[in-house]
Amino acid sequence: MNIMLIIFDLDGTLIDTASDITHALNYSVQPYLRKNITVEETIKLVGEGITRLIEKLLGQDRTALGPVVQERFLQYYTEHLYDYSRPYQGVLETLEELHGFKKAVLSNKREVLSRRLLDALKLSSHFDMILGSDSVEEKKPSPRPVLQILEMLSLRPENAVMVGDSDYDIEAGRRAGVSTVAVSYGYRDVNVLKKADVIIDDIRDLPQKISMLNAPIRET
């Protein structure tokens, strides 16, 4: 195996965005729901993109409100994208340690928001490519965005690893034929990450795990 590319999920993997998303959700549903949403509740909802997040939040009885609530969300979130969002501990030093690899971000957040967030937190320069939910016709857990990154960088599945905190990341990677590394500190319970090739508790363990995946298999 010759890993040359590392594809990272964004929310819950590189950056803790739960507080800013929660504030935006509470603003967006304020006229329609009687209660505030907690960060813990937000964490259970995120992962499939904003449209699906709002659908789950509103429930079947309020589906007609979806477009209005989504517009309110995007208006607020765009203006408060990084009030509280910060990289997880060890992210910057890990990206610097992995300077010899090509790196990409693949998020189910819209591309323009993903780019703005990475720019604001001074992480963009570490990545060769940044794709969001609207960059490709399908989003994770579909393998198509992973395959598109490989195609754009002229690489094969055996040359890449997908790193993420959710089963959507792991499924997208597995279906695309790339190695998968799950991080346990993100927004999903570790029990849904068991199909990953490797699970790590700290992003700083990633370089060593990639070295292990790259190691030649010895015949016994």
Which are the contacts of 170, defined by CB distance < 8 A and separation ≥ 6?
162, 164, 180, 182, 193, 195, 196
d(CA 40, CA 57): 13
Q: Residue 131's closest CA among 151, 121, 146?
A: 146
From 9, 11, 20, 169, active-site residue? 9
Map tokens 């990272």 to a residue.
Answer: 8
- Known active-site residue 169: no
Angstrom distance (rounded) from CA 165 to CA 170: 8
Catalytic residue numbers read 9
